[in-house]
């Protein structure tokens, strides 16, 4: 039975092991120690219906001494339930609350496992509170995290964190391109990566194509008004089905790439990092490889699903999660989707665009994060003047 905790204001709240562990980490216990003591506390009071915060605090101290010794207790912040103070982080004229979630995201960007990154963020907050620091600059916070990562991991991981946490301070914008056939998870992955990297702008080629359709009517550019899976309509009958489809798809993608270029040029002019995702990116990704890093840092990636059955299953999953997106047209044209899929992956391999098999979401996100940050590090280093 879960017991109730009576606060000083006489309000009652159910005992939550996770909340007590959080408070204990703020006092200075490690992640493992805090959860062990909170587990001990739950067992200790399981026969009682209610307990006051004062009794809970005294018992917790006794449990810490019993399990870890008096010296560990002496090193801890004595306050179990802080008085509502919050750490604020400032940069220039802007101030925001300290966020363990955002800090965890920036640390995982360097390739640190999410659970380990979360622990570092927890320890950082606890250490600041223990020292009575409730206002810190973003620069100082970064330096403290950087030193922690350098000690715990390696200089390389620390340098990757340095880069990942300062994407908004790059000398040029970062443009990430996520291409691939329908159903490979481009839009979901783009949204997730944007959150992890702190990039606020995401654009899809479907949106660009819709805008272009308003400008160029069907009688002017008929291929633009077909869906990608029906792109072979209107192509020469002398070609077989696959070549008609790929020929029409390439024509359509080339037309959409004009709009993609306009969006990218605008982002570069405004010095805004962004992620572009969509099936029509392949021609433009080939072009930007030739441009290099003159105006921006460009990172093109193609998502794939090599397992054909799993690819088809994704459309059933999409239909369950989004009733507005009808799956029948995709299932009827699945053969065409696979033809485009094979074309995108083979062309990407030919032009040395990274292809990532999106079979497992967690594995893919970790792979993409490391790929993006490592590639960005290489591009940034290539623009630096040679050391004398």
Mark whether 254 and 376 lie in a shared domain: yes
Q: Where does a domain end: 40, 74, 108?
A: 74
Instruction: Indicate whether 275 belongs to any domain.
Output: yes
**DSSP H or E run through 6:** strand 4-6
Q: What is the pLDDT of residue 240?
A: 85
Closest CA to 253 of 297, 298, 316, 206: 206
Q: What is the pLDDT of residue 353?
A: 93
Mark whether 59 and 103 lie in a shared domain: no
As for how many domains the chain has, the answer is: 3
What strands lie across the sheet with 354-357, from one edge to the other? Answer: 202-204, 274-278, 174-179, 297-304, 354-357
Q: What is the pLDDT of residue 99?
A: 84
Mark whether 374 and 231 lie in a shared domain: yes
Dihedral sign, CA of 314, 317, 322, 327?
positive
Q: What is the pLDDT of residue 29?
A: 83
d(CA 144, CA 219): 61
Is the separation of the CB atoms in 109 and 161 below 8 Å?
Answer: yes
Q: What is the pLDDT of residue 365?
A: 87
CATH number at residue 194: 3.40.50.300
Instruction: Pull the structure tokens for residue 129.
Output: 């509170």
Mark whether 358 and 273 lie in a shared domain: yes
Q: Where does a domain end: 114, 142, 165?
A: 165
Q: What is the pLDDT of residue 129?
A: 80
Instruction: Indicate whether 82 belongs to any domain.
Output: no
Q: What domain range is 183 assigned to?
A: 170-383
| Average pLDDT of adjacent 10-residue blocks, the chain of 388 residues | 82 84 79 88 88 89 93 77 72 84 81 84 83 88 92 88 85 95 94 87 93 88 83 80 90 92 95 95 88 91 95 82 69 91 94 93 87 91 72
Instruction: Indicate whether 81 belongs to any domain.
Output: no
Mark whether 159 and 211 lie in a shared domain: no
Dihedral sign, CA of 177, 180, 181, 183?
negative
């Amino acid at each position: 039975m879960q017991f109730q905790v009576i606060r000083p204001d006489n309000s009652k709240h159910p005992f939550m092991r996770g909340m007590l562990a959080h408070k204990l980490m703020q006092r200075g216990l490690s992640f493992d120690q805090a959860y062990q003591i909170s587990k001990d506390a739950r067992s200790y009071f399981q026969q009682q219906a209610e307990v006051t915060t004062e009794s809970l605090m005294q018992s917790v101290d006794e449990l810490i001494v019993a399990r870890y010794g008096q010296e560990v207790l002496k090193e801890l912040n004595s306050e179990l339930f802080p008085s509502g103070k919050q750490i604020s982080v400032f940069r220039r004229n802007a101030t925001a609350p300290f966020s363990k979630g955002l800090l965890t995201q920036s640390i995982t960007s360097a390739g640190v496992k999410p659970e380990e990154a979360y622990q570092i963020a927890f320890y950082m907050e606890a250490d600041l509170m223990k020292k009575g620091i409730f206002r810190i600059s973003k620069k100082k916070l970064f330096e403290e995290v950087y030193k922690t990562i350098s000690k715990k991991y390696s200089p390389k991981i620390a340098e990757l964190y340095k880069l990942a946490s300062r994407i908004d301070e790059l000398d040029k914008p970062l443009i990430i391109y996520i291409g691939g056939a329908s159903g490979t998870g481009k839009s979901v992955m783009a949204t997730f990566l944007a959150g992890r990297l702190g990039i606020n702008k995401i654009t899809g080629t479907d949106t660009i194509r819709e805008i272009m359709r308003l400008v160029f009517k069907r009688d002017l550019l008929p291929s633009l008004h077909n869906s990608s899976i029906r792109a072979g309509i209107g192509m020469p009958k002398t070609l077989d089905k696959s070549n008609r489809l790929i020929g029409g798809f390439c024509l359509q993608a080339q037309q959409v790439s004009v709009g993609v270029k306009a969006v990218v040029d605008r982002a570069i002019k405004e010095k805004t990092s962004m992620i572009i995702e969509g099936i029509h990116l392949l021609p433009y990704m080939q072009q930007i490889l030739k441009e290099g890093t003159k105006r921006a840092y460009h990172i093109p990636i193609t998502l794939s699903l090599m397992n054909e059955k799993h690819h088809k299953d994704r459309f059933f999953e999409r239909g369950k999660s989004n009733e507005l997106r009808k799956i029948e047209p995709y299932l009827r044209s699945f053969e065409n989707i696979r033809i485009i899929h094979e074309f995108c992956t083979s062309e990407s391999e030919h032009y040395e665009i990274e292809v990532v098999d999106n079979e497992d979401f967690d594995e893919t996100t970790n792979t993409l994060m490391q790929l993006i940050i490592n590639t960005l590090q290489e591009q940034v280093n290539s623009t630096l003047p040679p050391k004398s």
